[in-house]
Each structure stands twice: as C-alpha cells, then as structure tokens.
C-alpha cells in the first residue's frame, strides 16, 4: 500500500468536488534568539525558583519588574550573564533573575532503552475538524515531527454500519497533505453518538448492541476493511469508550476478528484504551479492557494517560507524572510489549470553578487567562505540571512543553513505541521542538 495512491485518489476527489474552503495561514515562527556573546555561559534550559519571593527584572541594569516568582515556580533558563540568568516564564515573558535565587531543575529521565534506541518513535496526532480550534496548522507546521495522524472519521451503528462524522473537504485535504509528507494514516472508528438523553457522548448502549451481536461484529469488520481499501489508509484506530464491563469478552472477540481480517490484507490495527494502574473487571470506565488479552491483536496500543482529574471531578493534574508512570508499569506487567505501547499525551487542561464542572482549555487559552488576570503560574514539583489560581477561586491545571518533557522521558526510559497527542491544535507550540530533541 503506498501513500502515493492515497495522494492521487484524494487529489482527484478534491478537484472534482471543487473545494473552495480556504486553509488558514500558518502562524509565523517565533524569532530566533540572537547569538550569545563569547562571555555568555551556556547553562541548563530549565530551573526552579529557590527564593521565597523573587523579582524578575526587565534587564540586568534595570529595576523595572516584569513579574514576581515564588518558591517552586518553574522557568526556562535561556542563558547566563555574569551573576544573572535570563529566563523565560511559562507565560512567554522574559527577564532576569539573580543566579542565587534559581537552581537548575531536575532533568526528566532520558536514559534510552538500548533495545529500541534505533527505532523511530511514533508521534501520532489526532486530527479534528473544528473551525474554532483547527488541527490543520499543527499538521502543516510540524509534519516533519509527526509520523502519523488519525482523523476523527466514522461512527459505528448498532448493526455494524459506519456513518461519516467528519468534514469531507478538510479531512480530505489533511489526508492528502499527510500522504505527500509520508505520514501513516489511521481511520478513527468511534462510538461517540447521541445517547438516550439526546446528548452527544460515548455511547455504551450503542457499542454493546454491536459487540454482543456476532453478525453485527462481522459486518463492522467487513465495512472497516472496505473503508481502509477505498481510502487507502495505513490502518484503523479503534476508539470505543464507556464500554460496559460485561462486554469484556465480546470486545476481545471483536478485536481478534478485526485483526485476523485486516492483517492479512496489509492493514495495521491500533486501539485507544483507558488508562489504569490496577485491574478491576467491574470498573465502569476501564473494566472491559483486558490489556493482556487485547495486545496480541494490536500493532499499537494507545494508553489514554490523561483525564486523571476530569471535568466532572475535583481539580488537579490532567496527567501527573507518577500516575502516568504507574499506568505504564501496569501495562508492562500485564505483558504488553513496550514496542506496542503508545503513551497518550494531552494538549489541553481544565479550568475548574469553585463548584461545578470544569471547562476544557488549550495551552494558549490557559496562558492568556493567567495573563489577563495577573495570575502567577506555578509548578507542581511532584506532578510535574503547571497550574494557577485566579478570579473567585478558579483553578487551572494544564499541560506545557515542560510537563511533556517528563512524559517523553518515560517513553525513552521504558523503550515505548512513542506518543499520541490529543489533539492537534490544543498543544503548547513549544512542544514540537521538545519532541524533536528528545526523540532524535
């Protein structure tokens, strides 16, 4: 199967459809830093504030204060000038602090597993058609870092059918671009549909109806095969969520049938699974997913290591480092080969009110909120994630390039296959350089 066929087919489709939708221009790249002078010493790129209250000054000979930092805050160290560090705050602002108030932060684990050192890491981005938060710019600008995309595409039916749930024009353009740039492509098959209350959500009843009916399972497998052939995808990505624990064995049967049909035809099978660090077959969120029984029928298993704290729960990290590592260790202990494990990473965060449900925020939205309210962004030294408080008791916990670096360290430490980012368009733009540096 060649990407050139995909490019040709989609090019013809786009031409015949007379697509008129424009593509937003790429955001301009940040200006490169000016070269350091010979007197400027190179130092570690990250640091933690050790003083109780530390002023960030506009320049080394100015008393104009850019910001105030507290003990434990996290910054990027750009370079050293004598007894001063030039630093970049998580908000993007730069300034100077005295060297005795800052120490280089502990580095994330980057020891490479020698068994997988030569294998290129998977960097898969989930692609969503959303005019408010488009995925397209990230694909355009960082396709040299990405190895694959999985566009949000088809919804299942109870009888084993597939219903398109994507914007054909933009998704077609994205697949064309991915093909031109040599990226693998995975059709995302999901159960996100209207539920009995008329709300759009992952529908447990829908997927139960399909999984519990052998004829519907076989029909869905054949429909997926036909779709992959027609669109010339690299493979399929199964994203069934809220599967009932009672469907544990039906899910295994479906995946086995899917794998045994697609693999001989040359297609890959991948799947997103809920993150867990212990087994509970009755758990409503993760009980249906038996890592040890599913992985033989998967080329890649994407651990959804995010939503540790979710919008309907108490405030906290979306993905703390200790929790993420515990999920990885559980998967390995269940016998999942490290070369099949893809670590799910979030590009988003949550903004919690004092009471009630949180709202999802992108990295840029989180930074903008902090700046607009004059909130001090802090660093949780245990969770390895940024957060801040603002307004009437609101809390924002989110992901950044710094927090991502620790997750990438786990990929290298355990020799995992790579990462899958939910989703393109939400992430810290600085994440891509971190990925490139740590996976090179």
**Residues tagged active-site:** 241
**Measured distance CA(40)–CA(426) in Å, rounded:** 35
Class of residue 328 by CB neighbours under 10 A (exposed 0-12, middle 13-18, buried 19+):
buried
Q: Which two tokens stand for residue 270?
A: 């991948």
DSSP string, 252-291: HHHHHHHHHHHGGGT-EEEEEEE--SS--TT-TTTTT--H
Percent helix / strand / coil, the chain, rounded to 5:
35, 25, 40
The helix (H) or strand (E) run that includes residue 223 is helix 214-231
Phi then psi for residue 198, to 5 deg, are: 80, 15
Q: Which two tokens stand for residue 72?
A: 């434990």
**Measured distance CA(166)–CA(172) in Å, rounded:** 10
Residue pair 418/341 in contact (Cβ under 8 Å)? The answer is no
**Measured distance CA(51)–CA(73) in Å, rounded:** 10
- Residue found by looking up tokens 């990925």 in the block: 435
187: closest CA among 270, 111, 291?
270
- Whats the size of the chain, residue-wise? 440
Q: Which two tokens stand for residue 193?
A: 């549909």
**Measured distance CA(325)–CA(256) in Å, rounded:** 28
Report the half-sphere exposure of 268 (CA within 13 A, side-chain side): 18
**Measured distance CA(277)–CA(326) in Å, rounded:** 6
């Amino acid at each position: 199967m060649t990407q050139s066929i995909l490019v040709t087919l989609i090019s013809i489709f786009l031409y015949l459809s007379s697509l008129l939708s424009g593509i937003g221009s790429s955001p301009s790249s940040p200006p490169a830093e000016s070269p350091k002078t010979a007197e400027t010493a190179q130092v570690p790129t990250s640091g933690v504030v050790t003083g109780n209250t530390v002023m960030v000054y506009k320049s080394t000979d100015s008393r104009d204060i850019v910001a105030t930092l507290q003990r434990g805050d996290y910054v990027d160290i750009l370079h050293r000038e004598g007894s001063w560090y030039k630093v970049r705050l998580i908000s993007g602002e730069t300034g100077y602090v005295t060297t005795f108030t800052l120490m280089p932060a502990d580095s994330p684990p980057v020891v490479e597993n020698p068994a997988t050192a030569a294998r290129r890491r998977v960097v898969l981005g989930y692609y969503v058609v959303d005019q408010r938060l488009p995925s397209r710019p990230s694909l355009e600008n960082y396709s040299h870092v990405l190895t694959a995309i999985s566009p949000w595409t088809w919804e299942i039916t109870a009888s084993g059918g597939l219903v398109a749930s994507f914007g054909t024009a933009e998704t077609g353009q994205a697949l064309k671009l991915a093909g031109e740039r040599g990226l693998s492509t995975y059709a995302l098959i999901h159960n996100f549909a209207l539920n009995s209350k008329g709300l759009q959500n992952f529908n447990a009843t829908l997927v139960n109806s399909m999984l519990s009916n052998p004829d519907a399972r076989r029909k869905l497998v054949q429909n997926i095969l036909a779709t992959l052939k027609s669109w010339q995808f690299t493979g399929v990505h199964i994203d069934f969520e809220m599967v009932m624990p009672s469907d544990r064995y039906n899910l295994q049967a479906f995946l086995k049938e899917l794998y045994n049909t697609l693999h001989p035809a040359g297609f890959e099978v991948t799947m997103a699974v809920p993150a867990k660090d212990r087994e509970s077959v009755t758990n409503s969120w993760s009980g249906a997913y038996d890592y040890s029984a599913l992985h033989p029928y998967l080329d890649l298993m994407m651990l959804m290591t995010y939503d540790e704290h979710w919008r309907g729960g108490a405030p906290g990290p979306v993905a703390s480092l200790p929790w993420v590592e515990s999920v990885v260790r559980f998967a390995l202990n269940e016998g999942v080969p490290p070369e099949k494990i893809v670590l799910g990473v979030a590009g988003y965060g949550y903004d919690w009110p004092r009471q009630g449900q949180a709202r999802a925020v992108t990295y840029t939205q989180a930074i903008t909120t902090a700046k607009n309210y004059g909130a001090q962004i802090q660093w949780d030294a245990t969770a390895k994630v940024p957060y801040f408080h603002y307004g009437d008791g609101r809390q924002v916990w989110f992901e950044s390039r710094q927090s991502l670096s620790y997750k990438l360290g786990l990929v290298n430490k355990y020799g995992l296959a790579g990462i899958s980012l939910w989703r393109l368009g939400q992430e810290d733009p600085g994440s891509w350089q971190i990925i490139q540096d740590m996976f090179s």
